[in-house]
Amino acid sequence: MAAANSLTFCPQVESPAGAAVREGLSSRPRSLPAWLFYDDAGSRLFERITELPEYYLTRTERAILAAHAGTIIAKAAGNAHLRIAELGAGSASKTCLLLAAAMERQGAVHYEPIDVSASALREARQRIEAEIAGVTVAPRTMDYTNGLVFKALRPGERRLVLYIGSSMGNFEPDEALSLLQRVRATLRPGDAILLGVDLIKDREVLLEAYDDAAGVTAAFNRNLLLRLNRELGADFNPLAFAHRALWNRSHSRVEMHLESRRVQRVHFSGLDLTVDFAAGETIHTENSYKYAPGQTEMMLARAGFDPTATWTDEKNWFAVCLGHAR
Ligand code: TRP
């Protein structure tokens, strides 16, 4: 009888968010995957983060791209006509600099932004079509970590994949390497990748970037709980959780947590799940790895790319690395 019962047991099919929450909140230490941040409200909050005075990443990377866009595009292209794709494009505010340089060089550009947020992609398309005439925008709403396929290129074309904004830093280093390897597998020799990575720097500078005075990053972190309330029928009180950012030097990463301010019980009516939090217990919501100079080039090499050139700012806070598929 027991055997018959186990054969007829059929696990309920859960939404990706539901499955992720059940797994992440049942393990210790508790954690939630970072992709859950980027619903419409989360993507909007992240855009505000990129404009904060403390969040040096976006403006430093933008300055590097502004200073070198022409060279970057020329080196990436060689003698070919570039097609540009972007992983985790968001609203693509920095990408315009590269697209404009590509327009100047080749007169027309096909641009394929890929992101999990449809609203961010709509904004990206509007922004680009308004700012640069001649760019064809072909957005794709998808999670690029679930596999990636590109259309075949025409003769004389070369693909440039943009992976900027320190997005790679949100993966464990071994996952980041395997992601680069999977991107490499979609490319042909001579195609290019452009990586934007945040570099190791003073702890104070790092922590302020992830715990700003206006509290936008705290709101972004807590928005995750509001999403779970809405989508999974949870009853989180977001203010009963504190936003925490800390620098984990041995792992070279900034960690984001939500810390339970007191003993509390959270119920998920959509999941038939109850989670008890102790006072001070944390949910680990995100890592942002910071790289040492030269490390990205080594990863590119291990993933099957020749690291062609690296650009950085005068403080050496951020690096933009170009690689060509071997
Ligand atoms: N890619 C961004 C980064 O690591 C994402 C990010 C910025 C983020 N601020 C955050 C993620 C706060 C979670 C919490 O810099």
pLDDT tens string 31-64: 999 889 989 899 999 999 999 999 999 999 999 9
| Pocket-testing residue among 32, 252, 288, 289, ligand 1, by greatest number of atoms within 8 A of Cβ | 288
Average pLDDT, the chain: 94
> Which of 117-126, 176-185, 276-285 shows the lowest mean pLDDT across its residues?
117-126
Quote the pLDDT of residue 11.
53
Rg for the chain, CA atoms, rounded: 21
Q: What is the mean predicted confidence (pLDDT) over 307-325?
A: 98
Indicate if the pLDDT at residue 119 is higher than 50: yes
Atom number in ligand 1 closest to CA 217: 12
What does residue 95 show for φ and ψ, rounded to 5 degrees? -65, -30
Percent of the chain scoring above 70 in pLDDT = 96
Q: What's the 288 CA to ligand 1 centre distance in angstroms?
A: 7
> How far apart are the two ends of the chain, measured CA to CA in Å?
58
Q: Output the pTM of the full model.
A: 0.91
Three-point CA angle 90, 87, 89, nearest 5°: 15
Indicate if the pLDDT at residue 12 is higher than 70: no
Q: What is the mean predicted confidence (pLDDT) over 21-33?
A: 95
Q: What's the 274 CA to ligand 1 centre distance in angstroms?
A: 28
Quote the pLDDT of residue 293.
96
Question: Is there a contact between 238 and 258 (Cβ–Cβ < 8 Å)?
Answer: no
Indicate if the pLDDT at residue 303 is higher than 60: yes
Pair type for strands 273-277 and 318-325? unpaired
The pair of structure tokens assigned to 302 is 């291990």
The pair of structure tokens assigned to 102 is 């590509």
Quote the pLDDT of residue 90.
79
Question: Is there a contact between 265 and 277 (Cβ–Cβ < 8 Å)?
Answer: yes
Indicate if the pLDDT at residue 117 is higher than 90: no
Quote the pLDDT of residue 120.
87
Q: Which residues line ligand 1 (CB under 6 A)?
A: 49, 57, 165-167, 169-170, 210, 217, 220-221, 256, 286, 288
What is the residue with the minimal CA distance to atom 3 of ligand 1?
A: 288
CA–CA separation, 297 and 234 (whole Å): 43
Q: What is the mean predicted confidence (pLDDT) over 265-272?
A: 94
| Pocket-testing residue among 49, 116, 164, 282, ligand 1, by greatest number of atoms within 8 A of Cβ | 49
CA distance readout (Å), 94 to 114, 152, 223: 15, 26, 25
Q: What is the mean predicted confidence (pLDDT) over 113-125?
A: 90
Percent of the chain scoring above 90 in pLDDT = 85
Q: What's the 292 CA to ligand 1 centre distance in angstroms?
A: 18
Confidence of residue 91 (pLDDT cuts 50, 70, 90): confident
The pair of structure tokens assigned to 93 is 């505010």
